[in-house]
Amino acid sequence: MSVMRLLPSLPGLSLLFALGCSSVGSSAVRTDGGFAGRHMGAVRVYAVVPPSGVRVIGLVEVHAVNEEANVETLMPVFMKRVADIGGTGGVIDDVQTHYEMRTEWRTEHYSYPCGYRSTCWSTRVVPYTYQIRMLRIMGRALLPIDAPGPPAMPPTAALPPATPATIAPPPPAKAPSENGGPQ
Amino acid sequence: MIRRALAVLAAVAVLAGCGSIRTYRFALDRPAGAMSPARPAVFLEGQLPSTNMRELAIVEAVGTGNKASAETVIGAMQDEATRWGASAIVRVKIDCAYSQCHGWGVAVQFVP
């Protein structure tokens, strides 16, 4: 089957995707190494100043394009993902807007004069370029500092200890020589 | 009859202009009780005021066509923040492109 025979069905496929698929995507990652149990209660969102007495347990990101790229659509998803990794609160760190130009091929029918008082019809595929807007909300999931879980540790203390096999034994201390050496 | 209807439709289209502005909001707290007669102040991202504040809502506006300007978008966000009784909008960020302009911010109420 040639590509030209497939092209007229692209608008239909696009419509199908537009009706059936959502552009909303999200990620939630627990970063403190704790148990990723889901929080079943309410989630509080802080957009300016996070409260005191909380610790960060993970990162959350949500995004969407065009009609779905708004806070009314994305914030409920953000709260759900915070709860998914066990957070009771979320703080919004950044809201980014990104624009992109997309080109897709569309089929159009056109007419042209042919012969004496005759009109012919034909079909052609033309490029159609449009702008899309992507909205991304980045944030962190929070938990009260006294909630059960691994203690919040500074990053330097969280480094894994080196295994003994990778550490060379220290050189044996030399005995000071009899005819000199550092005193 | 049809001509008259078309004329009315054309007039509506001209009056409406070739653009739109849409406003969105997400509640963070209850709205402040009293509406301030003054327009909410605008603080861009990184310019937090030095007073205590209560977060009321995230406000967002998207302008397209001839409404795709920072002026229109900030105005729409201020209108929305006024409905929440906000003293200011903080963390305001505006991103405009060829045919769209997007802005968001946090409507806050100053508390003593």
| CB contact B42 to A (< 8 Å) | no
Closest B-chain CA to A75: B26
Statement: residue A3 has pLDDT above 80: no
Asked if B89 and B40 count as a contact pair (C-beta separation under 8 A), the reply is: yes
Question: Do A75 and B102 lie within an 8 Å CB cutoff?
Answer: no
Q: Is A84 part of any domain? A: yes
Question: Do B24 and A48 lie within an 8 Å CB cutoff?
Answer: no
Q: Is A182 part of any domain? A: no
- A168 confidence band (pLDDT: 50, 70, 90): very low
Closest A-chain CA to B26: A72
Total domain count for chain A?
A: 1
Residues of the domain holding A48: 23-149
- Give chain A positions within 8 Å (CB) of B28: 45-47
The minimal CB distance from B58 to the residues A69, A71, A98 is found for: A71
Res A16: pLDDT: 45
Res A5: pLDDT: 42
Question: Do B28 and A99 lie within an 8 Å CB cutoff?
Answer: no
Q: How far apart are CA B95 and CA A97, in angstroms?
A: 6
| CB contact B60 to A (< 8 Å) | yes
* Low-confidence winner among A166-170, B13-17, B29-33, B72-76 (lowest mean pLDDT): A166-170
Res A76: pLDDT: 96
Asked if B56 and B29 count as a contact pair (C-beta separation under 8 A), the reply is: yes
Compute chain B's Rg from CA coordinates: 17
Closest B-chain CA to A72: B26
CA distance to partner chain B, nearest, from residue A78 (Å): 12
Q: Is A95 part of any domain? A: yes
| CB contact B50 to A (< 8 Å) | no
For residues B26-33, give the mean pLDDT.
89
Statement: residue A19 has pLDDT above 50: yes
Number of neighbours of residue A140 by Cβ within 10 angstroms: 21
Res A116: pLDDT: 87
Q: Where are the domains of chain B?
A: 18-110
Res A20: pLDDT: 64
Closest A-chain CA to B47: A48
List of residues 6+ apart from A115 with CB closer than 8 A: none
- Give chain B positions within 8 Å (CB) of A99: 95, 97-98, 100
Asked if B35 and B96 count as a contact pair (C-beta separation under 8 A), the reply is: no
Res B13: pLDDT: 53
- A115 confidence band (pLDDT: 50, 70, 90): confident
| Helix H or strand E segment including B82 | helix B70-83
- Give chain A positions within 8 Å (CB) of B50: none
Res A34: pLDDT: 77
| Residue that wins the pLDDT comparison between A41 and A179 | A41
Give per-residue pLDDT as tens, A78-97: 999 999 999 999 999 999 99
- B59 confidence band (pLDDT: 50, 70, 90): very high
Asked if A96 and A136 count as a contact pair (C-beta separation under 8 A), the reply is: yes
Question: Do A47 and B91 lie within an 8 Å CB cutoff?
Answer: yes
Res B107: pLDDT: 96
| CB contact A46 to B (< 8 Å) | yes
* Low-confidence winner among A51-60, A71-80, B35-44 (lowest mean pLDDT): B35-44
- Give CATH for domain B18-110: 3.30.1660
List of residues 6+ apart from B53 with CB closer than 8 A: A48, B87, B88, B90, B108, B109, B110, B111
Q: For B17-69, where are the alpha helices, taking DSSP H only?
A: none
Statement: residue B71 has pLDDT above 50: yes
